[in-house]
Amino acid sequence: MDDSTFTTSIPARKAAVCIINAARERGYINGPLITAPELGEIEKQLFMKMFAALPGSDRITNCSLETEQMSSLFTFVFAKAAETAAQLYEGVEKVELETDGMFSLSVPIAAGELLNSYSADLDFPTVCLERFLELSEEEDFSEPFYSLFEALKWCFRISFHIFWDYLEQQS
């Protein structure tokens, strides 16, 4: 297997960069991202569940999402990042995330009072959506779901960073 097997498409990279740049511009990240060893597997399981929950049998070509649905997805991964940060911070060994509320405009955050309150003041999922939509107007995404899911992955990763950093500052 050569290295090209693990490359990301150029449009997906652009989607990732637009989310990272938005986070930097808004001051959500100022240095390296905070991460946890378990985060990769948690993210993988969550995104596999999300992808499976998309409507349509051929989720890449026959599924289209409205702006409200994409907004829900960004809010959803933001909420799931808060839940992940809260559970890992509390020492939970196996974090299980479900897709309930994935397309709800008001995704509940089960991350405890501290993070629930803090998250209410953050506009990061909205910023991510706006930047992704701007990029979508500029780019001709041949595989829009790959680019969307790459943007969602970076929204999740950066949101985890935001919440973990906040938890550390509070202790």
Q: How do residues 125-136 score in pLDDT, each as one tens digit?
A: 999 999 999 998
Model confidence at 87: pLDDT above 80: yes
Q: E-assigned strands of 12-144?
A: none
* Residue 108 φ then ψ, to 5°: -75, 145
Contacts of 151 (CB under 8 A, 6+ apart): 15, 16, 18, 19, 74, 128, 132
The number of folded domains in the chain is 1
End-to-end CA distance of the chain: 45
Model confidence at 2: pLDDT above 50: no
Residue 17 is assigned to a structural domain of this protein: yes
pLDDT band at 5 (very low <50, low <70, confident <90, very high): very low
Domain that holds residue 129: 11-170
Residue 53 is assigned to a structural domain of this protein: yes
Question: What's the confidence (pLDDT) of residue 24?
Answer: 96
Residue 102 is assigned to a structural domain of this protein: yes
Tell me if 122 sits within 8 A of 46, measured CB to CB: no
* Ramachandran class of 26: left when φ > 0, alpha when ψ lies in -120 to 50, beta otherwise: alpha
Model confidence at 118: pLDDT above 60: yes
Instruction: Provide mean pLDDT across the span 109-131.
Output: 93
Q: What percent of the chain stands above pLDDT 90?
A: 61
Residue range 7-26, pLDDT digits in tens: 567 888 899 999 999 999 99
Tell me if 88 sits within 8 A of 123, measured CB to CB: no
Tell me if 12 sits within 8 A of 153, measured CB to CB: no
Residue 122 is assigned to a structural domain of this protein: yes
Average pLDDT, the chain: 87
Residue 6 is assigned to a structural domain of this protein: no
Residue range 29-84, pLDDT digits in tens: 998 999 888 999 999 999 999 988 887 645 555 457 888 999 999 999 999 999 99
Residue 2 is assigned to a structural domain of this protein: no
**pTM of the entire structure?**
0.90
Residue 146 is assigned to a structural domain of this protein: yes
CB burial string 51-72: b at 16+ within 10 A, e below: eeebeeeeeeeeeebeeeebbb
pLDDT band at 142 (very low <50, low <70, confident <90, very high): low
Tell me if 72 sits within 8 A of 65, measured CB to CB: no
Residue 134 is assigned to a structural domain of this protein: yes
C-beta atoms surrounding 101 within 10 Å: 16
Residue 88 DSSP symbol: H
Contacts of 57 (CB under 8 A, 6+ apart): none
